[in-house]
Amino acid sequence: MSKSSQSSTSSPSALKDLASRVFGGYAELLRMPHTARFSIGSVIACMPFPMTAMTITISVQYYYGSYALAGRLTALQAIAMAIVTPLLGRLTDKFGQRQITIPTILVWIVSAIALITAISNRAPEWVLYCLTPLLAAIPPWGAMSRARWTRLLKGDRERTDRALGLSGVFDECMWVIGNPLASTLAVISGLLAFSFTGACVVIGALMFLTELSTEPPSQTVLARRAGMTRKEYREREAAKARALQAATAAEHARALAVAQGLSDEQMKAAVDKARADALAGHKESIWGPGLVAVCVTWFSLGAFQAAANISIIAFATEANMKQYTGFVFACFSISSLTGALVYGAKNWTIPLWKRFYFCLAIVNLGIGTFMFAKHLWVIMIIYLIIGVCQAPTWINGNQLMLHLVPPTRFTEGVAWMGAMNSIGSSVGSALVGLCIDYAGSHGGFMMTTALALGSLALAFVGFRQIKSSTEAPSLTEVSV
pLDDT (0 to 100) of residue 93: 78
Q: What is the CA radius of gyration of the chain?
A: 24
**Which structural domains are found in the chain, ordered by start?**
34-211+285-477 (1.20.1250.20), 236-281 (no CATH)
Pairwise CA distance, residues 385 & 330, whole Å: 13
Tens-place pLDDT, residues 172-193: 677 667 666 766 776 677 677 7
Does residue 474 sit in helix, strand or coil?
A: coil
96 Cβ neighbours under 8 A, 6+ residues apart: 215, 217, 218, 220, 221
Pairwise CA distance, residues 142 & 43, whole Å: 8
pLDDT (0 to 100) of residue 283: 45
Pairwise CA distance, residues 229 & 235, whole Å: 10
Q: Is 103 exposed, middle or buried (0-12, 13-18, 19+ CB in 10 A)?
A: exposed
pTM greater than 0.75 (yes/no): no
pLDDT (0 to 100) of residue 480: 33
Pairwise CA distance, residues 196 & 205, whole Å: 14
* Number of neighbours of residue 195 by Cβ within 10 angstroms: 15
pLDDT (0 to 100) of residue 425: 75
336 Cβ neighbours under 8 A, 6+ residues apart: 172, 175, 387, 388, 390, 391
Centroid of chain to Cα 122: 34
List alpha helices for 96-156, DSSP H. Answer: 97-120, 125-131, 141-152
Pairwise CA distance, residues 143 & 85, whole Å: 10
What rounded mean pLDDT belongs to the chain? 77
Q: Give the amino acid at 94.
A: K
Of 319, 276, 294, 281, the closest CA to residue 413 belongs to: 294
134 Cβ neighbours under 8 A, 6+ residues apart: 80, 107, 108, 110, 111, 114, 115
Predicted confidence pLDDT, tens digits, the chain (480 residues): 555 555 445 556 655 665 666 666 777 888 888 888 888 888 888 877 767 777 787 788 778 877 778 878 877 887 787 788 778 887 887 787 888 888 998 998 888 888 888 888 888 888 889 988 888 888 888 778 888 887 888 767 777 777 877 777 777 677 667 666 766 776 677 677 778 888 888 888 888 888 887 888 777 777 777 777 777 777 777 777 777 777 777 777 787 777 777 777 777 787 777 777 666 654 445 666 667 777 888 888 888 777 888 888 888 888 777 767 777 877 887 787 788 777 766 677 788 888 888 888 888 888 888 878 788 888 888 888 888 888 788 878 777 777 777 666 666 777 777 778 777 877 787 788 778 877 787 888 888 888 888 878 877 877 777 777 666 555 444 333
Q: Give the amino acid at 192.
A: L
446 Cβ neighbours under 8 A, 6+ residues apart: 371, 435, 439
Tens-place pLDDT, residues 296-328: 888 888 887 778 888 888 888 887 777 677 778
Q: Is 200 exposed, middle or buried (0-12, 13-18, 19+ CB in 10 A)?
A: buried
pLDDT (0 to 100) of residue 478: 39
Q: Is 445 exposed, middle or buried (0-12, 13-18, 19+ CB in 10 A)?
A: buried
